[in-house]
Amino acid sequence: MIKLKAVLDNEDLVQMSRKNRKNSFLHALKRDYLLYGLLLLPIAYLIIFKYAPIYGILMAFQDYNIFQGIGGSEWVGLDVFKFIFHQNSFYRALTNTLVLNLLDLVAGFPAPIILAILLFEIRYVKFKKATQTVLYLPHFLSWIIIGGMVYLIFSSHGMANNLLNALGLGSIEFLSQKTNWLIMYVIVGIWQNAGWGTILYLAAMTGINRELFEASDIDGCSRLRKIWHITLPGIKHTIIILLILQIGRMVSIGFDRPFVMGNSLVSEYSDVISTFVYRVGIGSGDFSQATAVGLFQSVVGLIFLVTANYIAKKVGEQGIW
Amino acid sequence: MSSKRKMNVADIVMIFFLTGVAITCLVPFLYMIALSLSSNNAIISQKVTLWPVEFTLETYKTILSDTEMIYTLGYTIVLTVLYTFACMFLTICAAYPLTKKRLKGRNTILTLMIFTMYFGGGLIPTYILVKNLALTNTMMGLILPGAMSVFNMIILKTFFTELPENLEESAAIDGCNDLGILVRIVLPLSLPAIATLSLFYAVDRWNGFQDALFYITDKHLFPMQLKLYQIISANQQLDTQQGEGSVGAYIVPESLKAASVMFATVPILLVYPKLQKYFVDGVMTGAIKG
């Protein structure tokens, strides 16, 4: 029975190769109509909600009028971009985005690696499990909740300043002084992400051949040497892939974190591209400008990603594609 | 490895350090609880650190007797459940056919899907689209635009591919069609992956804020995070404008803000520990094999 089916399939294949492409596609459609049927909804979803907005990018080259739509609005070429590139507030948002992302990269990227190595080195399973449970928790909190907690803890009469005052150190303007705000922004980011970030590294570490550790034990290697020569090389690929992805996100920035953590006193540092797009687009209703800024961000982000991937491959590493 | 080796200095240092980090993750919650159970006078006169001062349950009484707050909680739970179902449905529908190597056009479809992970129209074109589809100020506006994550779809697809093939083959011989195989064989075997991804979708929706801020202006349709943001940001502007150190009159007292934060966090704290083992395993498999 199975054999017969296989033979039939084979004959089908021979016949297929004789016919033209269209027929073979019809044949595939007939054979796998259930599978194609399953794909219908996801594809429709992607076309409507992912590809249609790409068409909407045309707004960036128009003097878009919401009542006339893309079809009826006047084309202005690159005028919108020229206008944006002459605006100081755009450069401020761009610079802030780059600065905040760079700080996140420098301070935030190594944090999960260090934590993962420590967790991997711990031999007390119960302690390890309990610590992990607690460390993953912040990842599941929204930025609204985190922002609220940060405000309540670090405002002028929050816990942090209470403690400083009790110790006679005087209060610190954690959230309203610009440099302090930057530091807080980065620290809170690490607080939220470092624990969760360990998961991928720990997964990679469990994939390291145990024999390597056993052999190095026999050779009397110190712990640090084992970390340096076995653990770190074992997670190198993961580190590089995550690094590529993070560099690719250099110009794009989430909305919630800067929006919730920022306040009017530090807007000089906290106004980033995403909040700029929100203010200009939704706030002032200037859709063309906001779309143009979004397009600029997407394109530059893509260039960053492709470049980082290219460099990684050039130096002999596995890229993300 | 010699796991019975005695504890040395390095172990102790590491344990201390990790314990310290873990405590930093917990202290904010303790402080929120302390604030929410303290009187507002005690908070303004800076007496509260990690223990409630002038203990009171007033804030929780206020929240629990606030019908709007309870309504928002119920609404957000319904929204989260519907969203999670919609997402999982689309994710499964996309992931399963794409595991079949024989499927014509599979690579093209996959490429077109992955493309959307790296390039998209951006916030404003999506906003205009949602507006044109009359989805602003509807619950659907918070469900449909984000109803599938290609990233999660790929995790699920990887999981499906790892399942033993002969099970599917024998089902096919028994006369099961592709749909039957998916429902009777593949899905029951994939429960850990489905649970993990459902949790991710649910957390995304529960925590989602930006789309609600963009699309929803009707107060009755505010999900929890948007409502919470309003409570927390009330008077915050006032405080920062007056400058640090000044104690103004607070319309929304700090204790109530802290209690609201706890109110929105408790559902996560309740669900999280039970599902933790599931999702760590799920992510690990996805990570190693993907």
- pLDDT 10s digits, B126-147: 999 999 999 999 999 999 999 9
Q: Residue A54: which of B105, B120, B214 has the nearest Cβ? A: B120
The type of residue at A83 is F
Q: Which of B39, B43, B110, B124 to mutate to test the interface with A (most CBs of A within 10 A)?
A: B124
Q: Residue A123: which of B3, B182, B245 has the nearest Cβ? A: B3
Q: Which residues of B touch A51 (CB under 8 A)?
A: 116
Q: Do A263 and B236 touch (CB under 8 A)?
A: yes
Q: Residue B15: which of A66, A127, A298 has the nearest Cβ? A: A127
Q: Residue B265: which of A28, A50, A141 has the nearest Cβ? A: A141
Helices first, then strands: H and E counts in chain A: 20, 2
Counted across chains A and B, CB pairs separated by less than 8 A come out at 287
ipTM of the complex: 0.85
Cβ atoms within 10 A of the Cβ of A136, count?
20
The residues spanned by each domain of chain A are 19-75, 79-314
Q: Which residues of A touch B28 (CB under 8 A)?
A: 149, 153
pTM over 0.90: no
- B169: nearest CA in chain A? A2
pLDDT in tens, A136-166: 999 989 999 999 999 989 988 888 888 888 8
What number is the average pLDDT over the span A91-98? Answer: 94
Q: How far is CA A5 from CA A8, A12, A31, A176, A199, in A?
A: 5, 10, 13, 74, 45
Q: What is the mean pLDDT of chain B?
A: 85
pLDDT in tens, B249-267: 446 788 889 999 999 998 8
What number is the average pLDDT over the span B167-172? Answer: 83
Helices (H), B141-217: 150-162, 165-173, 178-181, 187-189, 191-207, 210-215
Fold for the domain defined by B57-165+191-289: MetI-like fold (1.10.3720)
Q: Residue A136: which of B113, B179, B276 has the nearest Cβ? A: B276
Cβ atoms within 10 A of the Cβ of A222, count?
10
Tokens of residue B286, six digits: 């996805």
| Contacts of B19 by beta carbon, 8 Å cutoff, 6+ apart | A131
SS3 content of chain B, % helix, strand, coil (to 5): 75, 0, 25
Distance from CA of B226 to the nearest CA of A (A): 8
Q: Do A195 and B25 touch (CB under 8 A)?
A: yes
Distance from CA of A261 to the nearest CA of B (A): 10
Domain A79-314, CATH among 2.60.40.1930, 1.10.10.10, 3.10.580.10, 1.10.3720.10: 1.10.3720.10
Tokens of residue B52, six digits: 């409630």
pLDDT in tens, A248-297: 888 888 899 999 998 888 888 999 999 999 999 988 889 999 999 999 99
Residue that the structure tokens 């303007």 belong to: A173
Q: Which of B1, B96, B123, B130 to mutate to test the interface with A (most CBs of A within 10 A)?
A: B123
Backbone angles phi, psi at A75, to 5 degrees: -80, 135
In contact, B128 and A70? CB cutoff 8 Å: no
Q: Do B119 and A302 touch (CB under 8 A)?
A: yes
Backbone angles phi, psi at B164, to 5 degrees: -60, 130
| Contacts of B59 by beta carbon, 8 Å cutoff, 6+ apart | B36, B37, B253, B255, B256, B258, B259
Q: What is the reported pLDDT for A127?
A: 92
Q: Which residues of B touch A281 (CB under 8 A)?
A: 123-124, 127
Q: What is the mean pLDDT of chain A?
A: 87
Q: Do A144 and B228 touch (CB under 8 A)?
A: yes
Q: Residue B93: which of A1, A41, A163 has the nearest Cβ? A: A41
Q: Do B284 and A46 touch (CB under 8 A)?
A: no
Q: Do A122 and B22 touch (CB under 8 A)?
A: no
The residues spanned by each domain of chain B are 1-56, 57-165+191-289
In contact, B6 and B18? CB cutoff 8 Å: no
Q: How far is CA B278 from CA A18, A123, A217, B189, B271, in A?
A: 50, 22, 33, 14, 12
CA quadruple B153, B155, B157, B160: dihedral, nearest 10: -140
Which residue has better confidence, A3 or B162? B162
Statement: residue B97 has pLDDT above 60: yes
Q: What is the reported pLDDT for B290?
A: 43
β-sheet bridge partners, residue A75: A62
% of chain A exceeding 90 in pLDDT: 44
pLDDT in tens, A9-25: 555 555 555 555 667 77
